[in-house]
Structure 1
Amino acid sequence: MKRLLMTGASSGIGLEAARLLACAGHQLTLLCRSQERCEQTRQHLLAAGADASRIVCHAVDLADLFSVERGCQQLLAQGQALDGLVLNAGQQRAGATAPVFSAQGIEITFAVNQLAHQWIATRLLPLLRAGEQPRLVITASDVHDPATGGGRVGQPADLGDLAGLRSGASFVMLDGSERFDGDKAYKDSKLCNVLLGRELARQLEGVMPVIAWSPGLVIPRCREGFFRYNRQSNPVGMALFAAVARDLLRVTESVQTAGRLLAALTTEADYGTPGFSYWSNRLVRPGLHRFEAKATSPNAADFDQASALWRLSELLIGRCLDCVSRP
């Protein structure tokens, strides 16, 4: 039995991975964005046959650094070692031309997909270090790489010199651009995720596996989960895109397969080599994906960029937690 903590387990591939891991007898601590989502997730897992004593859900809103900090404080106070930390939550606002901001005034794609996860990793690293053969898994995406199919559509991922993050102001794009592009913001956040894995592996000096991975294009049929914001803003367009991608072009991956891959990355010995690795569930031809270790984009292999992103993000988190009155 492994003691695992996961974000983004209330829907999509995270929920499917949690179901598989729970039914395999692992101890799960799941961070969900609200108490309602905690209860829904718990009931789903119990209905699937999970042991109630091995499922713990905490309401932690990744769009609010105070909520993240409170959750981390609670977990640190409990002191239970972790054998796996799975940073899986994410959101995408493709097509959006106006930014949405987090509780601390940070563009929400970056705040949720990257910043909250860096802080969780920072705060809970002592629990992970205390675990038995621990590993860290980060759900990224091939769209971080402009050479891939998804990465070359629209504006490519590119953080520039992190001018937006360096400015200390309420930036809308990490590269400092004042024109918001929801699709690029998502790609940039996935590039950040891979760089986060690079930096954590460097800091950990090879003592545990740090895995970043791409599940492929996964479009759940339900209205909740990763694509919920796109469905709300453009339900007809999203439904058409999903139908064409999934049923006509056959370029998508199923929630079940992607969830199984995430569960495997979290626990199986085949993925237990210490140090950084990137795994991609890449489309080979319509209807067929191949899951294998791949090189990241050159930008995602830039150790100086990874270090700068970590340092500037750490400063931003510090300012947010220090200068705003705690609720």
Structure 2
Amino acid sequence: MADPASQRVLLTGGSSGVGFEAAKVLSAQGHQLTIVCRNPATADQTRSLLPDSVHTLICDLADLAAVATICSQLVDRGTALDALVLNAGLQYAGASEAQFSVQGIELTFAVNQLAHQLMAMRLLPLLRKAASPRVVITASEVHNPSSGAGKVGKPADLGDLEGLRAGAGFAMVNGSPGFDGNKAYKDSKLCNVLMARELNRQLEGALPVIAWSPGLVITRNSGGFFRYNKRSNPLGMGAFAFVARDLLRITESPENAGRLLAQLVCDPKIAPGFNYFTNKVVSFGGHRLEPTDTSAEGADLQKARELWQLSEQLISLT
């Protein structure tokens, strides 16, 4: 018989980085964990590093049709879901040319936002079957132009969502010309915060909807999110990682960030409704997870509703 304290958790982005570290913690605690992996090779490698009880689903989040398929399979299976953890993230920092999904959607937005909104929309019936369900979304402080990282380069700004209003093929959500990979990532994290706001509104605060920032996570081997940058400027990113991690000590380790994500998945003290937490630097090399205000744009409920509706229209075209 399953442990009554065991949570049934579906996790995206669990094959590497923060998500993988969270998966290690959650599986060690005896939770029933399913990880969404991009391809069979990634799934095999992930399972080989985790307990046999961990399950995987094959799905490329850049393909909305594939996301819809696994959601239908899960709903047909009918197993209740205690936690939906939308953690996967894609960043093409430094890129000046957009890449597009099979549906013609800029990849950063397609993976970080649309795939996760589609999962939230389709898997709500499974969450409603659980006694105390929750949704956890990995956002970032870069969504906030007043934060330290948010001030570097062009700030997050969705404008009037002009890109989305134009339909598939847009490079930037606000419709600005050209492509800026750094800003596209910031914008996607702002979208994640707004998605959490709108999901909470639709659910009328019935369950915890948690968005959070893990802080600046850089690993010594892969560079975390910055692995995408190595193709264009390995020396520059290596220097940045050395200064941020080894000199300023403002970075967080994947292991610590993973433990925090696992904590957010299971902490019974988190109240129903919208919650936003930041893993703040509080001392030289030290961090603390705290409830935090989002940016002003991240608190715009009307924009949150419009973003959801326009995203839903793009999803419906698949």
Deviation at 1:171, TM superposition (A): 0.5
Q: Does 1:27 align with 2:32?
A: yes
Count of equivalent residues: 313
Deviation at 1:224, TM superposition (A): 7.9
Q: Does 1:290 align with 2:288?
A: yes
With the length of structure 2 as denominator, give the TM-score of the two structures.
0.96
Letter in 2 for 1:259: G
Aligned partner of 1:17 in structure 2 is 22
Aligned partner of 1:325 in structure 2 is none
Measure, in 2, the Cα distance between the counterparts of 1:194 and 1:39.
32
Measure, in 2, the Cα distance between the counterparts of 1:142 and 1:225.
16
Measure, in 1, the Cα distance between the counterparts of 2:276 and 2:105.
28
Measure, in 2, the Cα distance between the counterparts of 1:55 and 1:226.
24
Letter in 2 for 1:248: L
Letter in 2 for 1:214: S
Aligned partner of 2:306 in structure 1 is 308
Q: Does 1:209 align with 2:185?
A: no
Q: Does 1:176 align with 2:175?
A: yes
For residue 235 of structure 2, give the secondary structure of its aligned residue in structure 1: helix
Letter in 1 for 2:9: L
CA contact (8 A) 1:63 1:116 kept: yes
Q: Per-residue CA shift, 1:42-65, capped at 9, x if unaligned? A: 1111xxxx2x2x311011101111
Deviation at 1:169, TM superposition (A): 4.1
Letter in 2 for 1:94: A
Measure, in 1, the Cα distance between the counterparts of 2:241 and 2:88.
21
Deviation at 1:26, TM superposition (A): 0.3
Measure, in 2, the Cα distance between the counterparts of 1:36 and 1:150.
34
Measure, in 2, the Cα distance between the counterparts of 1:286 and 1:133.
37
CA contact (8 A) 1:171 1:178 kept: no
Aligned partner of 1:43 in structure 2 is 48
CA contact (8 A) 1:29 1:56 kept: yes
Aligned partner of 1:6 in structure 2 is 11
For residue 22 of structure 2, give the secondary structure of its aligned residue in structure 1: helix
Aligned partner of 1:231 in structure 2 is 230
What is the aligned-residue identity percentage? 60
Measure, in 1, the Cα distance between the counterparts of 2:145 and 2:217.
19
Measure, in 2, the Cα distance between the counterparts of 1:246 and 1:308.
38
Q: Per-residue CA shift, 1:182-231, capped at 9, x if unaligned? A: 11100000000000000000011111000000000001233385333212
Aligned partner of 1:258 in structure 2 is 257
Measure, in 1, the Cα distance between the counterparts of 2:117 and 2:250.
31
User: Structure 1 stretches of 5 or more lacking a match?
Assistant: 322-327
Letter in 2 for 1:34: N
User: Structure 2 stretches of 5 or more lacking a match?
Assistant: 1-5
Aligned partner of 1:318 in structure 2 is 316
Aligned partner of 1:132 in structure 2 is 131
Measure, in 1, the Cα distance between the counterparts of 2:168 and 2:46.
36
Measure, in 2, the Cα distance between the counterparts of 1:303 and 1:5.
27
CA contact (8 A) 1:91 1:227 kept: no
Measure, in 2, the Cα distance between the counterparts of 1:125 and 1:221.
38
With the length of structure 1 as denominator, give the TM-score of the two structures.
0.93
Deviation at 1:237, TM superposition (A): 2.1
Aligned partner of 1:76 in structure 2 is 75
Aligned partner of 1:200 in structure 2 is 199
CA contact (8 A) 1:11 1:224 kept: no
CA contact (8 A) 1:82 1:128 kept: yes
For residue 226 of structure 1, give the secondary structure of its aligned residue in structure 2: helix
For residue 269 of structure 1, give the secondary structure of its aligned residue in structure 2: coil
Letter in 1 for 2:139: A
